[in-house]
Amino acid sequence: MARKRPRIPAQRRHGASTRAIHAGEDRARYADSITTPIVQTSTYAFKDSKEIAAYTRGGKERFEYGRYGNPTEQVAQRRLAALEGAEDCVVSSSGMSAIITTILALVRSGDHIVITDDAYKKTLEFCSAYLQRFGVSCTIVPFGDYDAIEAAVGRHTRLIFSESPTNPYLNIFDLERLEDIAGKHKVLTVIDSTFATPINQRPLEWGVDLVMHSCTKYMGGHNDILAGAVLGRRELIEEIRALHKAIGGVIDPHCCYLLLRGLKTFAVRMAVHNATAMKVAEFLEGHRCVKRVYYPGLPSHRHHEIAKAQMTGFGGVVTFDIAGPLAMAKRFLDALKLCYIAPSLGGVETLITHPATVSYYTHTRKQRYALGITDSLIRLAVGIEDADDIIADLDQALKRTGKARRAKKT
């Protein structure tokens, strides 16, 4: 069956790079500055009592207190909304702050949510361990099992939460099938699209209600900020904003400035991430020291056809299984010279991590394997260095590891 065309907004929009540079800004800025100024203040003064009344009674638009809004923050929200094609946006102090605030704002005691088992570890932890304290139940279903997702939806289900692509296997959620289920049962849908970014995928155009991003990653782009965002229809965002103001997970003005600065080069950086990651994935898939590569741009990925249908690029993360036991994986990491061993992703530097010993070090081997986190699994966050240099570093480390393995056998 042919896939439906995504719901693209009717209004004409500038290109992604133009929006990443200009969207959300007023043409005239303080002191004729080209860049958005950092309004570094926690509170705002009223001229007199009349201005107070105009604000509190007359609805005059202005700023009052830092937790309720900031001019630099406002520009960042407008720009992100323009990039995602959303009506509104709330930015937070981290991606997890955005996720938790969004879920708590939308559910009530007695509600139920459905979440897929391939979601981010901390998101799953919050939903399974903490939501019950608020009288909200949670069902975790296998990613990609759409029958199980639909079977889990009941009369008290408020929302379905998933990611696309997921971490670390880069599984792709069929957004069309998700919306068919959600529309049938009249539940909200929330997609964490951090790994895709709005350059590569815009879930709102497929009918998804809310999109989440860890702006710490590709949007900031330089491994120097923590930030998160939720985007979607204005009425839903207003619900989330109200709780956001009360909880206080606000992003500071200087961080907003760095986010805006990162967004200036967002589109061009993503083009390099996409192209370089594809080259790296193809190289790794042909290497004798690699057992398997997980990258949605490769025909070997189980969701390649879905990715081609609903994405315009495949992102900068490549996951692979190295040939050999845990000791070989560690030896490979230790042999790298250009790639940094570090968590996170989306920055200009290439980062590499070993989930078994970093993210899942508290789990037993049996628990890890049940989650698909094997001893040999490696996640590579490709930066924007020259592709040949990244590949050369991986190649020399793999060859050194392979030699050590062969020497051990003999």
What are residue 210's DSSP bridge partners? 190, 232
Q: Is 213 helix (H, G, I), strand (E, B) or coil?
A: strand
- Strand-by-strand arrangement of the 188-192 sheet: 88-92, 228-232, 210-214, 188-192, 157-163, 112-116, 137-141
What is the C-alpha separation between 349 and 268, in angstroms, rounded? 15
What is the C-alpha separation between 291 and 300, in angstroms, rounded? 13
Determine whether 400 is an active site residue: no
Whether 209 and 181 have beta carbons less than 8 Å apart is answered as no
Provide the terminal-to-terminal Cα distance of the chain, rounded to the nearest Å. Answer: 54
The number of helix segments (H) and strand segments (E) in the chain equals 15, 12
DSSP conformation class of 250: P
Bridging pattern class, strands 210-214 and 290-294: unpaired
Q: Among the options 19, 120, 375, 393, which is catalytic?
A: 120
Whether 390 and 378 have beta carbons less than 8 Å apart is answered as no
Determine whether 217 is an active site residue: yes
DSSP conformation class of 302: T
Whether 158 and 188 have beta carbons less than 8 Å apart is answered as yes
DSSP conformation class of 265: T
Within its chain, how far is the Cα of 133 from the centroid?
26
Q: Among the options 19, 217, 241, 368, which is catalytic?
A: 217
What is the C-alpha separation between 232 and 216, in angstroms, rounded? 19
What would the DSSP string read from start to end of 39-59? ---SB---SSHHHHHHHHTT-
What would the DSSP string read from start to end of 45-114? --SSHHHHHHHHTT------BGGG--HHHHHHHHHHHHHHT-SEEEEESSHHHHHHHHHHHH--TT-EEE
Active site residues: 67, 120, 192, 217
